[in-house]
C-alpha cells in the first residue's frame, strides 16, 4: 500500500516532494554541502541515461571475500548463474557490457562498483576502505581508460567505496561509513563540486545491518528514493519522496534504476508490490549468493 505521509503506522509511505535543496546531515553544518549548478536532470523517462556497464565475473575464490553476513558460504556455480542473469538484465535495459575476467587475486573484485565513481564529467577512482580491496583499482583504471581518457582519484588518507555514493537528480549523497572516511568523502565532494555537482554527507556509522549507504538506499529516479526505516526518517531526506522498505525486507532497498527498468532482488513481496504499484517496470533477480558476501545489485556493475 502506498499512502501519503512519513511511515509511522503504515509500512509504506511516500512523503514530501523532491528537490533535496534543504537536505542536510543531522547535526552537521551547511559546510557539509557542496553547491553545484548547471547539471542536466539525470533521469528522463523517454531517454536512456546509461549506455554501458562494466561487470566482472566472480572468481572461483569468491567465497574468500569479506563478509559480515551469516547466511553461509556462497555456491560458486549458482553465483555464476546469478551473475549471468544480472548481465542479461543490464542488456535488456539497453546497455552494452564490458565483461572483465575473474580476478582471483581479489575475491571481492566482482563488486566493481566500489572501485570508481562515474559521472557525466568523468571517472573518479576510489581508494577502497578495506585494505584487501585496494588493489582492485589498478585494473579498473586500465579498463576505464578506454571510455574516460583522464580520471581523478581519491588519495590517502582518504578512503571511499563506490557503494557509499548515491547519485540523484541534483544531489550526490556520500555515505560516511566503515569504508568511506570523512577525508575520502571530502575529497569526492570537492571533485564533484569542480564538475558543478552538489554533495550531501550521510553518516551511516552505527546504522546496523548495512555495509554501504546504498545497502540501505537507492535512487529510483524522478526524485524518489527507496530507504530502510533507519535512514528514511533522516532529516537529510526530508524533501525527498521516500519509499520505505518494510522491516524484514531491508535487503530490497538496494534496487537499481537502469533506464526504463528497475532491477530488484527477488523474494521481497511487500517491496515488490509497492514498487509495481508505483508503476516501475521491475526486473527481479535472485541475489542470494551475493547477499552472502554483503553484496547487492548496485555493486555488481559500474554504469555510465
Residues that bind ligand CIR (CB under 6 A): 65-67, 108, 111, 113-114, 130, 133, 163, 211-212, 215, 293-296, 298-299
Query: Closest CB to ligand CIR among 187 and 298?
Result: 298
Instruction: Report the nearest approach of ligand CIR to the CB of residue 106 (Å).
Output: 10
Q: Which is nearer to ligand CIR, 126 or 171 (CB)?
A: 126
CB neighbour list of residue 261: distance below 8 Å, 6 or more residues apart? 89, 92, 93, 280, 281, 282, 283
Cα separation, 252 vs 114, in Å, equals 19
> What's the min distance (Å) between Cβ of 88 and ligand CIR?
21
Residue holding cell 524484514?
Answer: 248
Minimum CB separation of residue 213 from ligand CIR in Å reads 9
Is there a catalytic annotation at residue 30? no
Could you tell me which residues are beta bridge partners of residue 282?
Answer: 262
Q: For residue 136, which of 165, 113, 164 has the smallest C-alpha distance?
A: 113
User: Hey, which residues does 165 pair with through a beta bridge?
Assistant: 174
- DSSP 8-state assignment for residue 114: G
The minimum distance between CB 32 and ligand CIR, in angstroms, equals: 22
Kindly state the cell numbers that stand for 186. 571530502
Question: Is 299 among the residues known to form the active site?
Answer: yes
Name the nearest CA neighbour of 114 among 66, 76, 147. 66
- The minimum distance between CB 77 and ligand CIR, in angstroms, equals 19
Q: 238, 16 in Cβ contact below 8 A?
A: yes
Other C-beta atoms closer than 10 Å to the C-beta of 212 total 29
3-class SS of residue 184 = helix
Residue nearest to ligand CIR (CB): 163
* Nearer Cβ to ligand CIR (114/186): 114
Give the residue with the Cβ less far from ligand CIR, 191 or 287: 287
Residue 144: CB partners within 8 Å, gap ≥ 6? 54, 116, 118, 123, 125, 151, 302
Which is catalytic among the residues 34, 212, 240, 255? 212
Show which residues are catalytic.
Answer: 212, 299
Amino acid at each position: 500500500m502506498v499512502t501519503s505521509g512519513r511511515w509511522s503506522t503504515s509500512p509504506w509511505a511516500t512523503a514530501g516532494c523532491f528537490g533535496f535543496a534543504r537536505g542536510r546531515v543531522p547535526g552537521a553544518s551547511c559546510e557539509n554541502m557542496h553547491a553545484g549548478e548547471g547539471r542536466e536532470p539525470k533521469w528522463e523517462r523517454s531517454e536512456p541515461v546509461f549506455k554501458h556497464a562494466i561487470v566482472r565475473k566472480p572468481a572461483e575464490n569468491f567465497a574468500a571475500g569479506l563478509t559480515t553476513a551469516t547466511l553461509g558460504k556462497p555456491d560458486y556455480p549458482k553465483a555464476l548463474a546469478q551473475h549471468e542473469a544480472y548481465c542479461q538484465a543490464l542488456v535488456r535495459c539497453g546497455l552494452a557490457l564490458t565483461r572483465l575476467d575473474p580476478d582471483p587475486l581479489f575475491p571481492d573484485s566482482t563488486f566493481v562498483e566500489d572501485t570508481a565513481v562515474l559521472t557525466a564529467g568523468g571517472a573518479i577512482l576510489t581508494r577502497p576502505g578495506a585494505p584487501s580491496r585496494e588493489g582492485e583499482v589498478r585494473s579498473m583504471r586500465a579498463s576505464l581508460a578506454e571510455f574516460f581518457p583522464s580520471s581523478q582519484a581519491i588519495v590517502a588518507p582518504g578512503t571511499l567505496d563506490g557503494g557509499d555514493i548515491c547519485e540523484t537528480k541534483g544531489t550526490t549523497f556520500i555515505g560516511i561509513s566503515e569504508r568511506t572516511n570523512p577525508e575520502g568523502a571530502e575529497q569526492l565532494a570537492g571533485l564533484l563540486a569542480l564538475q558543478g555537482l552538489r554533495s550531501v554527507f550521510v553518516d551511516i556509522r552505527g546504522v546496523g545491518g548495512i555495509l554501504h549507504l546504498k545497502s540501505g538506499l537507492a535512487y529510483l529516479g524522478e526524485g524518489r528514493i527507496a530507504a530502510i526505516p533507519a535512514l528514511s526518517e533522516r532529516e537529510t531526506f526530508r524533501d525527498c519522496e521516500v519509499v520505505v522498505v518494510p522491516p524484514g525486507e531491508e535487503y530490497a532497498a538496494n534496487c537499481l534504476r537502469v533506464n526504463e527498468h528497475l532491477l530488484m532482488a527477488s523474494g521481497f513481496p511487500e517491496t515488490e508490490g509497492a514498487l509495481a504499484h508505483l508503476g516501475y517496470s521491475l526486473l527481479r533477480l535472485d541475489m542470494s549468493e551475493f547477499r552472502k558476501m554483503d553484496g547487492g545489485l548496485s555493486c555488481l556493475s559500474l554504469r555510465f
